[in-house]
């Protein structure tokens, strides 16, 4: 009976692990599609700009799945999971734009590279969940952008030497409890050869 329970538990864990890995792989595949969609948008928008001396107007990606941007895009792409349009924010002077997507894999290194892992993602007015984007002629960051707080640089550990109660010279981090009551600390590993004298030893 116990052997059966153990076997069932192991099989259950393996199944759960397999499901987790499959979900991760699926999320990455969907994210690859999102990145490809935005890259296709970028290419087609350059063709549009070459013809009209302006990037498409606001709302051009809203009717996703349509042929609104044909012949530049055969179909306006939609998010592969939600079916929602990608966010498009053109500049008012016609010379630039931003386009955003939501990546499912929050550990994707590109999110940190773009610095879209702050409080408000890339800063799109559409929402903080938009953590990936492209831009032309302008910064990728929207008006709501909050830069991620820099990781604090740890203070370097400072060490000193002191004579322990047995007359040995040992290294201690500054502030170590054993240094309390020590008559002297030293900067060299030999404690300046002072440990032979009991008066120089820590209690």
Considering the domain architecture, whether residues 163 and 91 belong to the same structural domain is answered as: no
Residues 126 and 196 in one domain: no
Q: Which of 116, 108, 117, 152 is nearest to 134 (CA)?
A: 116
Q: What is the mean pLDDT of residues 132-138?
A: 93
Residues 132, 78: one domain? yes
Q: Is residue 18 part of a domain?
A: no
User: Has residue 2 been placed in a domain?
Assistant: no
Q: Residues 39, 132: one domain? A: yes
Does 170 share its domain with 130?
no
In a shared domain, residues 98 and 189: no
**Same-domain check for residues 103 and 166:** no
Task: Please report whether residue 122 resides in a domain.
Answer: yes
Each residue's pLDDT tens digit, 11-50:
666 566 655 555 667 888 899 999 999 999 999 999 999 9
Structural domain count of the chain: 2
Check residue 128 and give its pLDDT: 93
Residue 128 CB contacts under 8 Å (≥ 6 apart), including other chains: 119, 120, 121, 144
CA distance to 50, 70, 106, 123, per residue, from 112 (Å): 32, 34, 10, 14
Distance CA 133, CA 138 (A): 12
**What CA–CA distance (Å, rounded) separates 55 from 175?**
62
pLDDT digits (tens, 9 = 90+) for 40-85: 999 999 999 999 999 999 999 999 999 999 999 999 999 999 999 9
Instruction: Let me know whether 36 and 75 are in one domain.
Output: yes
Does residue 16 form part of some domain?
A: no
**Residue 180 backbone dihedrals phi, psi, to 5 degrees:** -65, 125
Show Cβ contacts of residue 160 under 8 Å, excluding neighbours closer than 6 positions. 171, 172, 174, 179, 185, 186, 187
Share of the chain above pLDDT 90, in %: 53
Residue 11: the pLDDT is 60
Q: pTM for this structure?
A: 0.65
In a domain, 185, yes or no: yes
How far is 138 from 11, CA to CA, in rounded Å? Answer: 53
| Same domain for 113 and 165 | no
Portion of the chain with pLDDT greater than 70, in percent:
86
Alpha carbon distances (Å) from 172 to 154, 167, 184: 18, 15, 12
Question: For 88-147, what is the HEC assignment?
Answer: EEECCCCCCEEEEECCCCCCCHHHHHCCCCECCECCCCCCCCCCEEEEECCCCCCCCCCC
Residue written as token pair 């929402």: 127
Is there a domain that residue 151 lies in?
Answer: no
The sign of the torsion formed by the CA atoms of 133, 138, 144, 146 equals positive
Same domain (yes/no): 34, 131: yes
Asked whether residue 145 is domain-assigned, the answer is: no
pLDDT the model gives residue 17: 60
**What is the span of the domain harbouring residue 176?**
159-200
């Amino acid at each position: 009976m116990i052997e059966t329970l153990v076997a069932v538990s192991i099989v259950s864990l393996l199944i759960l692990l397999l499901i987790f890995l499959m979900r991760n792989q699926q999320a990455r595949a969907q994210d690859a599609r999102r990145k490809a969609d935005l890259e296709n948008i970028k290419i087609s928008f350059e063709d549009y700009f070459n013809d009209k001396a302006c990037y498409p107007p606001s709302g051009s990606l809203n009717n996703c799945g349509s042929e609104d941007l044909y012949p530049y895009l055969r179909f306006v792409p939609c998010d592969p999971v939600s079916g929602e349009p990608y966010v498009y924010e053109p500049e008012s002077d016609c010379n630039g734009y931003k386009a955003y997507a939501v990546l499912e894999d929050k550990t994707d290194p590109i999110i940190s590279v773009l610095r879209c892992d702050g409080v408000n993602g890339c800063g799109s007015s559409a929402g903080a969940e938009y953590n990936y984007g492209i831009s032309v002629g302008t910064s990728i960051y929207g008006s709501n952008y909050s830069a991620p707080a820099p990781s604090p640089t740890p203070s370097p550990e400072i060490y000193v030497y002191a004579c322990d109660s047995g007359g040995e010279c040992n290294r201690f981090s500054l502030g170590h409890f054993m240094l309390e009551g020590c008559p002297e600390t030293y900067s060299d590993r030999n404690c300046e050869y002072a440990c032979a004298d009991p008066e120089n030893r820590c209690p």
